[in-house]
Amino acid sequence: MTGPIPMPYPNADAPAQDLIAACVHCGFCLPTCPTFAVLGVEMDSPRGRIHLMKTVWDHRLGADSPGLEDHISKCLDCRACETACPSGVEYGKLVEGARSQIVTARPRSPLERLVRVGAFDWLLPHRRILGAFAVFSIAAKRLGMGTLLRATRLGLARRMADLLDLLPDRATSDPLVAAPAKGQRRGRVAMLEGCVMGSVFGATNAATARVLARNGVEVVATPGQTCCGALHAHAGERERARELARRNIAAFERSAVDAVIVNAAGCGAAMKEYGWLLKDDPEWSARPSVFAAKVRDATEYLGDLGVTERPGTLRGRVTWDDPCHLLHGQKIRAQPRALLAAIPGLDIVPLEEADWCCGSAGTYNVTQPDLARSILERKVANIVRSGADTVVTANPGCLMQIQSGLRHSGSNVRVVHLLDLLDEAYRAH
């Protein structure tokens, strides 16, 4: 007698078979996939990767297969395929499920285990540590450490120099303070401070609170919140992501607000999917979905609410670049464009392939630097061709990646978060 057929994937986070079955292999995703555009390989397209996931379920490929890891790790998880898919395939859930299986099934070197513990256990969940690390790294960059590292001609050193290039010229990590509503109160919200946003782009957090307050929205402080877990989930560290999700849900529940505002597109997309992340936890069966229903991107919330105070006039030629997890992950397109158009004096020009990934994609520019660079070059060429002097977006990874690419191309185009630009307009007024 034979026993039961063993589970082909190592744990319950495996890519769901019903989500896999939704793919009809029509190929509409192919022209939207940046890695397929660069590599031209079927297995490096969404359709091809879904086929690989199914071959594991069919016991024709192991979850520890190097080939599976190679093709899944090359995915940006930009989710442009979801926007193009006529069958509604939830590809982001599939690829993150596959990555979690690979992390579990494939042995990791001592160095990789150390890097993962350092990044996912120590840096991202602890803003003070991450903030200190950011300040140290930016200081090293300003002192010319990147040039010294490249002079060594060592592969690892050049990689570290590339990472320094991604950093902004300065970091602001002041904790977010409460902001009372100006005039009649139209809403009461809490804000995710975030790991990268809170440690590097604290000024953008403050600008977001000021813009909301100017438009009748009270912003309250939320102690106890932490990293959203998006980078953990993207990297296959789903159990760590669940721990962070539980902490955030509990913290924001205590705030008793109308909405939870997020100004980082990747974080907002992850938090809106806390229900899926915690679907197998019986103790958290209802709370994640109730919480997720309150999560709003800052541009989504303010765009739907409408501005009550007219921004001041700014001069310049600007273009809008869609963060992948704002457009494809959260399906938010109209609101940020409407807010940009609400600033008097701007000459807004279209950006070709505004919906195309810049190559940042969480930690993708760290784990796949060559592919990320190829994808970034396409984005930079489109920005320069637009003739804009400022490109506006709404995600920290995009801000750093695009600014780095423009700098390397010799362009002086400015990259700015939409909430910073709105705050700048209000201050001009």
Residues 207 and 290 in one domain: yes
Residues 156 and 213 in one domain: no
Decide if 176 is inside a domain. no
Residues 354 and 287 in one domain: no
Residues 191 and 294 in one domain: yes
DSSP string, 166-177: HS-S--B-PPP-
Residues 324 and 403 in one domain: yes
Nearest to 56 by CA among 20, 107, 93: 20
Task: Provide the pairing of β-strand 346-348 with 259-262.
Answer: unpaired
CATH of the domain at 48: 1.10.1060.10
Decide if 179 is inside a domain. no
Say how far apart CA 120 and CA 50 lie, in whole Å. Answer: 27
CB 277 within 8 A of CB 288: yes
Last residue of a domain, one of 250, 282, 303: 303
Helix (H) or strand (E) holding 309: none
Per residue of the chain (429 residues), give pLDDT as tens: 455 556 899 999 999 999 999 999 999 999 999 999 999 999 999 999 999 999 999 999 999 999 999 999 999 999 999 999 999 999 999 999 999 999 999 888 888 888 888 888 888 888 888 888 888 888 887 888 878 877 877 776 777 777 788 888 888 877 777 899 999 999 999 999 999 999 999 999 999 999 999 999 999 999 999 999 999 999 999 999 999 999 999 999 999 899 999 999 999 999 999 999 999 998 887 899 999 999 999 999 999 999 999 999 999 999 999 999 999 999 999 999 999 999 999 999 999 999 999 999 888 988 898 999 999 999 999 999 999 999 999 999 999 999 999 999 999 999 999 999 999 999 987
Decide if 7 is inside a domain. no
Decide if 138 is inside a domain. yes
**Residue 251 CA: distances (Å) to CA of 178, 222, 254, 283, 291:** 16, 7, 6, 16, 11
Residues 203 and 280 in one domain: yes
Instruction: Give residue 33's domain range.
Output: 17-105
Say how far apart CA 387 and CA 354 lie, in whole Å. Answer: 14
Say how far apart CA 186 and CA 216 lie, in whole Å. Answer: 5
Say how far apart CA 285 and CA 280 lie, in whole Å. Answer: 8
Helix (H) or strand (E) holding 363: none
Decide if 253 is inside a domain. yes
Residues 322 and 373 in one domain: yes
Last residue of a domain, one of 86, 105, 124: 105
Q: Residue 19: what are its φ and ψ, rounded to 5°? A: -70, -35
Given the structure tokens 């409408």, which residue do they identify? 306
pTM above 0.75, yes or no: yes
CATH of the domain at 271: 3.40.50
CB 129 within 8 A of CB 122: yes
Residues 360 and 258 in one domain: no
Residue type at position 17:
Q
β-partners of residue 260 are: 190, 295
Residues 54 and 118 in one domain: no
DSSP string, 65-78: -HHHHHHHHT----
Decide if 337 is inside a domain. yes
Residues 282 and 331 in one domain: no
Task: Provide the pairing of β-strand 187-191 with 217-220.
Answer: parallel
Q: Residue 178: what are its φ and ψ, rounded to 5°? A: -65, 150
Residues 192 and 288 in one domain: yes
Decide if 198 is inside a domain. yes
Residues 327 and 391 in one domain: yes
Question: H-type helices in 306-417, by residue range?
Answer: 324-327, 334-341, 364-367, 369-386, 396-409
Last residue of a domain, one of 279, 303, 327: 303
Burial class of residue 243, CB neighbours in 10 A (0-12, 13-18, 19+): middle
* Per-residue model confidence (pLDDT) at position 175: 78
Residue type at position 223:
P
Decide if 174 is inside a domain. no
